[in-house]
Amino acid sequence: MKKVVTFGEIMLRLSPPGFQRFAQARSFDVVYGGGEANVAASLANFGQAVEFVTRLPANDIGEACLHFIRQYGIGVRHIVRGGERLGVYFLETGAAQRASKVVYDRAGSALAAIRPGMIDWRVVFADADWFHWTGITPAISEGAAATCLEAARAAGEMGLTVSCDLNFRKNLWKWGKTAGEVMPGLLATCDVAVGNEEDADKVFGIKAPRADVIGGKVAAKAYVHVCEKLAERFANLKTIAVTLRGSLSASHNTWSGILWHAGKTYGAPVYDITTIVDRVGGGDSFCAGLIYGLRVYRDEQKALGFAVAASCLKHSIPGDFNMVSAAEAEKLMGGDVSGRVSR
């Protein structure tokens, strides 16, 4: 099987230990993460050949990040070096009724300064059959948006399947254009689109009827409408998936998803996650599970079931990366929700 390529920014993640607030912190736990890197890590854990493409500064922090990526079996040979700094984000992990908080410090990052022509996409995609990006990348800068479009077009011309996680981040769209202006042209290059309960509304104005995200009312039936409207607007899309998170508190969520393919809609079990360890990367782990399922099972129902199960398990893993094997996700997908010790 050929490899999957993902492209985007990876950042240094700094978190106060445990559930401390920023004001309490006297040290920070250090990992690295970012949407497309998180997808690559999940796929590597599932046994897939995967290549992550980004731009890292040619300094010791960039080198440390490179070593971090490499240890998970992710290909790094097309990562380019240059720029001034690695982007940083600070995460304060919430609990009970106190929400988690993210503070970005990524202005002027190496990836933000990328330009078309810096990466030879024909070489990158030579032994690949799938390309994945997220809506975070074009939000970072005009150069990142143009490079993402360059990559997606090259992938399409070379016959790769192109997937996108809409991933709307309102605090990132500051370079002069809005998501609504930029994302339609990018999504027109895609075969597969994934979003959460609000992405289609925030980016394209497509709202699920009778849904109440804040109140935890995210019934699958309401999001069939979202999939159908996206499919009407973007005729190129063959598959559309929506993750469904019911936020009862920062520690207690329900989790599921739906998938639309060629006019047919598929549903998945609803998991009741009562003790969340870390929800960051949950959507990315869903994307990775869906990519794996569509490539390996070639069955939309099984692909969705695997994606929801794998991403459910991510909520028990600290850090951005989903350190879950395909066998573990399949066990949960098969109905084993006991959590009993494996001996």
Return per-residue pLDDT of the chain as tens, 343 residues. 899 999 999 999 999 998 999 999 999 999 999 999 999 999 999 999 999 999 999 999 999 999 999 999 999 999 999 999 999 999 999 999 999 999 999 999 999 999 999 999 999 999 999 999 999 999 999 999 999 999 999 999 999 999 999 999 988 999 999 999 999 999 999 999 999 988 999 999 998 887 666 666 677 888 899 999 999 999 999 999 999 998 889 999 999 999 999 999 999 999 999 999 998 999 999 999 999 999 999 999 999 999 999 999 999 999 999 999 999 999 999 987 766 545 4
Going by C-beta distance under 8 Å and a sequence separation of 6 or more, which residues neighbour residue 37? Answer: 6, 8, 10, 52, 54, 69, 74, 320, 321
| Predicted local distance difference test score (pLDDT) of residue 197 | 84
CA distance 25 to 83: 30
| Predicted local distance difference test score (pLDDT) of residue 89 | 94
Is residue 259 within 8 A of residue 237, CB to CB? The reply is no
Burial class (CB in 10 A: 0-12, 13-18, 19+), 214: exposed
Q: Encoding tokens for residue 8?
A: 């985007």
Q: How many residues does the chain have?
A: 343
Query: Domain 3-330 class?
Result: alpha beta
